Structure 1
Amino acid sequence: MRKVNEVIEIKDIEPMRVAYKTYEGDLRQAGRHMPSVFKAIKGRSNGSPFFSIYSSDPQTKIGKADLCVPTEETPVANDIFVKETPRVKAACVLHQGSYEELSVAYEQLADYVRTQGLLVTGPCREVYIKGPGALLKGNPKKYLTEIQLPIDGSKADDY
């Protein structure tokens, strides 16, 4: 496991129109369903990175995820929907490395939120800036994933 030394930033995340599919189950398998979202919009994303918004049990990895692709297109599949994600303030960390190492970045982010006394206000987001391609896996050491944890910015009584 590699040491995470990325800087945590507080960002204002703007609302975004997305096509999405809700997945429930083992979140390690959720990515297999992302191609169906791209197919439903005929590959016409708006150029912003795709992302997942989810909550899960950290031990079992079982949870619920909205697999989101930013687009202005209307999906042509019955199980793909459109929504606008809300504006949020978020504690964010940029992780470089494989998806299997994301837990280290999550721990760093959770420690930061706890020590700063911040209140988590919603499910986390994983923004896939650079990852495996459609045909080639690429080098997992070069994957870039931003983890965004929505916060209210004020101090929490307890976390």
Structure 2
Amino acid sequence: MRAHLVGEHLQRLQDQLSRTQAAVASLRRLLSPEPAGAAVELRHAPARRVAAVRGTVTHDEVLSWYAGAMAELGAVIDAPAGPAGGLYDNALFSEGRGDVLVYVPVAVPVPDLGRVHGTELPPAELAVTVHTGSHDTIDVTYGELGRWVADHALAVAGPVRETYLVGPRDTPAAEEWRTEIGWPVFRVAGAGAHPV
């Protein structure tokens, strides 16, 4: 019994150490970013029919809320018409609480069932880049994209769009995850793809 309790305590400490190490690595990247290799592309995202779950959550709740919402979508939608995604209100990042909408694209309208409802994403002009790897360091990619937007385009009010090209639902190998981040912008004359 004692060995079991000590083992559980050790596991909690190791998990806490892993989270702390990831946070330290992320902060180091913010202070001394690696040489830029990511590209930013200006892209028009057309309107899109989706099945979605919407909620207002705190920053601390967003991961567990996301997991539950995606499980509900997976139970209702057998064959999505593309990768899952999410719209994240700016207030979630700036104030710690905001609206979130996670979705899967669908080819035909879907009936409302529980929290799942059919809706259409509005068209948007986006500055887009891809974050590769664990979500522990996605804040660095957000920072790089935000810097690019400030340097090259005028950001507009509107939710940030994420598209989960490859994620935890596809593979447990975090190094293979790819999250596309789209920041709503006004196009700047002559702007195109640029390195971050």
Aligning the two structures, in what range does the TM-score lie when normalised by the shorter sequence?
Answer: 0.7 to 0.9
Match of 1:78 in 2: 114
Q: CA deviation at 1:61?
A: 4.4
> 1:30 touches 1:65 (CA, 8 Å); kept in 2?
no
Q: What is the alpha-carbon distance in structure 1 between the residues aligned to residue 45 and residue 140 of structure 2?
A: 23
Q: CA deviation at 1:141?
A: 1.2
The Cα offsets for residues 61-109 of structure 1, whole Å up to 9 and x where unpaired, read as: 4322111110125145132111111111100011101111110110011
Alignment of 1:25-36 (within 5 A): 25=57, 26-32=61-67, 33-36=69-72
Q: CA deviation at 1:31?
A: 2.3
Q: What is the alpha-carbon distance in structure 2 between the residues aligned to residue 20 and residue 38 of structure 1?
A: 11
**Structure with more strand by fraction:** 1
Alignment of 1:55-134 (within 5 A): 55=89, 56-58=91-93, 61-71=96-106, 72-75=108-111, 77-133=113-169
Shift in CA distance, 5/28, structure 1 to aligned 2, threshold 3 Å? farther
Match of 1:7 in 2: 39
Shift in CA distance, 75/101, structure 1 to aligned 2, threshold 3 Å? farther
SS at match of 1:37: helix
Larger radius of gyration: 2
Give the alignment's Cα RMSD to 1 decimal: 2.1
**Structure with more helix by fraction:** 2
Match of 1:143 in 2: 177
1:39 paired residue among 60, 75, 79? 75
User: What is the TM-score with the length of structure 2 in the denominator?
Assistant: 0.69
SS at match of 2:187: strand
Gaps of 5+ in 2: 1-25, 190-196
Which residue type is aligned with residue 178 of structure 2? L
Is the counterpart of residue 54 in structure 1 residue 54 in structure 2? Answer: no
